[in-house]
Amino acid sequence: MDFKLEYYYLTDLHKGFNAKDKEPEILKQTPATALVHGNNCVGPVVGKFCMDLAIEKAKNVGIGWVCVKASNHFGIAGWYSIRAMEQGLIGMAFCNTSPFMIPTRSKTRTLGTNPISVAAKGNNGEEFVLDMATTAVAQGKVEIKNLLGKKVPQGWTVDGHGKPCTDPQEVLDHGGLHPLGGPEETSGYKGYGLGFMVELFCGILSGSRFGQNIRTWSCHEAEADLGQCFAAIDPSVFAPGFEGRLSDLIHQCKDQEPVEGETEILVPGDPEKNHIELCTRLGGIPYHSKQIAFADELAEKYGVERLHRL
């Protein structure tokens, strides 16, 4: 089985599996909820539509909860929760994906990486931005290890027999990902439970495909029909002073003395914020040479301009 990072976007577009002449549509709604049909549009188009709808409802009635079916891979989950956060709301985004998680005590791919994202703003620009897979690692990190010819760390993945494995090609061809937490002995069943929860919100609640019914990453012979869920909450409809209390909690974590060998304590969102600052200083995004070569190959294949080098 040939896994390439281009598959989920460019191959679908090239084969015509993403609708180009349609828009997402609301099938039914209440003041606080909506069920949307994605009409197989490109995932980020569907995601933006749904999150904006959730934001609108939250501003009107305090909360917006939107589920969508017939969607596609929407990219970075945190982009959508941050979109709500930037308007003074608590944002949440969830998505099911092709099955790649091996459930605890199993050796068969059943659930996806099923990401969760939650974002909220405190005082003075302080933020909590959680964006995580419910597997031990996102599948893309295994694909990158394979692209770079590197082994994956112990605890990330298993082979086709459900045994620990560090060979990324074996994992991609026959194995899968541990749930968040790793094997059962290190509480991987908790990640399994979180992944199942995301599937409940996304696939089950929306009426889209779910679990093993979702096509594999490398299959491009049918629509993906992914399920997603977006929520926005207005903290002002609850106890006053939300932003201040959130900042207090951030500082309760960050202002502690770090362990020996470390210089700071982080909260979710800090690593990404630090990387944004690095890219700003550099005037661009640093990539590995093999990633650049891969991007050049795609540019040549599809007749688009290559990435600009600094």
Per residue in 147-157, pLDDT (tens digit) is 889 999 999 99
Encode burial over 212-236: b for 16+ CB neighbours within 10 A, e otherwise.
Answer: eebbebeebeebbbbbbbbbbbbbe
The CATH code of the domain that includes 52 is 3.30.1370.60
3 band by pLDDT with thresholds 50, 70 and 90 = very low
- From residue 114, alpha-carbon distances to 80, 159, 171, 266 in Å are 15, 20, 18, 24
Please say if the pLDDT value at position 90 is more than 60: yes
Give a yes or no: residue 96 inside a domain. yes
Residue 27 within any structural domain of the chain: yes
Instruction: Write down the pTM of the prediction.
Output: 0.90
Report the pLDDT value the prediction gives residue 80, as an integer from 0 to 100. 98
Summarize pLDDT for 97-131 with one digit per residue, the tens.
999 999 999 999 999 999 999 999 999 999 999 99
% of the chain residues with pLDDT over 70? 94
Domain holding 115, by residue range, is 7-136+178-237
In a domain, 263, yes or no: no
For residue range 193-205, what is the model confidence (pLDDT) as tens digits?
999 999 999 999 9
Number of domains in the chain: 1
